[in-house]
Amino acid sequence: MTSPHTPVLLDEVIEALAIVPGESHVDGTLGAGGYSRAMMSAGAKVHGFDQDPDAISAAQQMVANSDGRLAIYHDVYSRMADVLEGEDIQGVTLDIGVSSMQLDQAERGFSFQKDGPLDMRMAQNGMSAADFVNEAEEEDIANVIFRYGEERRSRKIARAIVNARPLTRTSELAKVVRKAVGQKPGDKKDPATRTFQAIRIHINRELGELEDGLAAAERLLKPGGRLAVVTFHSLEDRIVKNFLRDRSGQKSSGSRHIPQVSEIRTAPSFQKPAKAVRPAKAEQVSNPRARSATLRSAVRSAAPAWAAGVLQ
């Protein structure tokens, strides 16, 4: 039951969850099961979710060895509240983004470090990255790269992609992007990084899934339940930060010239969030994936979950 990758901020996540033996917890992003193993070691029963069939298949032996303390679900984590309705859940953990297993498999097409088919689909169904870059309008491609990659040269890259169609391999897309924006010797970051991130986020609906998943965790967690979310870039972290700020009643009052909306606010559904946690230097050195990670956590209050659209 060894994990093929090292979970990021593992000790800090387990500390934030404050597991009491016998509690039921959700690992919304099962992956290789690193967090789930640690939760079970702390005494929890775990419900693990993953949309990737490879992760579900790989976890079968882990389930068999769990003495009934691990149940897994081939589903997106945003459906946790529906799937586990009626369960007494005291903790939810989310490790957002692509997993090490997915990145390391060239045939999955997530990384330009290894040549493979231009795929990037976490669930292994639906629109692939190749479908998107070969069929989408140039303006749509540019907008995706700008919004999800925060790439200021998005229009130039989109134009180069359209002119190079069809693209079917990760190496082909990376070469097109590098040529479009230029690559200087000694660059710390490959010029293709932001474009690959943007396309992956888009085709997997990652940010929408995160927003829906946070709302699902809010609905599912019992009073006193703990939410722990590990993110890896600013777009993800901003969503989690704003969600916890709003749901804990920390939202700024805004301009004095704008009518107050306090009358439509419900009671805070979370207590004041804990201070954001970043990996120690030692972990950043030993696990490069940890360098951009941020952990945010909060405790569920006794107030009802907020209605959809409140202060949105």
How much is the CA Rg of the chain, to the nearest whole Å? Answer: 20
Q: 26 pairs with which residues across the strands?
A: 47, 92
pLDDT digits (tens, 9 = 90+) for 59-80: 999 999 999 999 999 999 999 9
In the three-class reduction of DSSP (H, G, I as helix; E, B as strand; rest coil), residue 70 is classed as strand
pLDDT digits (tens, 9 = 90+) for 181-206: 987 777 778 999 999 999 999 999 99
Can you give the pLDDT at residue 150?
95
What CA–CA distances, in Å, run from 297 to 181, 274, 283?
38, 6, 19
pLDDT range class, residue 4, cuts 50, 70, 90: low
In the three-class reduction of DSSP (H, G, I as helix; E, B as strand; rest coil), residue 89 is classed as strand
CA distance 112 to 164: 17
- DSSP letter, residue 167: -
Residue 99 has pLDDT above 90, yes or no: no
Q: What type of residue sits at position 47?
A: H
Averaged confidence pLDDT in the chain: 91
| DSSP one-letter string for 178-220 | HHHH---TT-SS-TTHHHHHHHHHHHTTHHHHHHHHHHHHHHH
Can you give the pLDDT at residue 157?
98
Q: Give the residue extent of every domain in the chain.
A: 10-101+206-299, 124-203
Q: Do the beta carbons of residue 97 and residue 209 sit within 8 Å?
A: no
Q: Between β-strands 294-299 and 70-74, what pairing exists: parallel, antiparallel or unpaired? A: unpaired
Percent pLDDT > 70 in the chain is 91
Can you give the pLDDT at residue 1?
37
Q: Do the beta carbons of residue 196 and residue 119 sit within 8 Å?
A: no
Q: Which two tokens stand for residue 250?
A: 């920390």
What CATH topology corresponds to 124-203? Answer: DNA polymerase; domain 1 (1.10.150)
What CATH topology corresponds to 10-101+206-299? Answer: Rossmann fold (3.40.50)
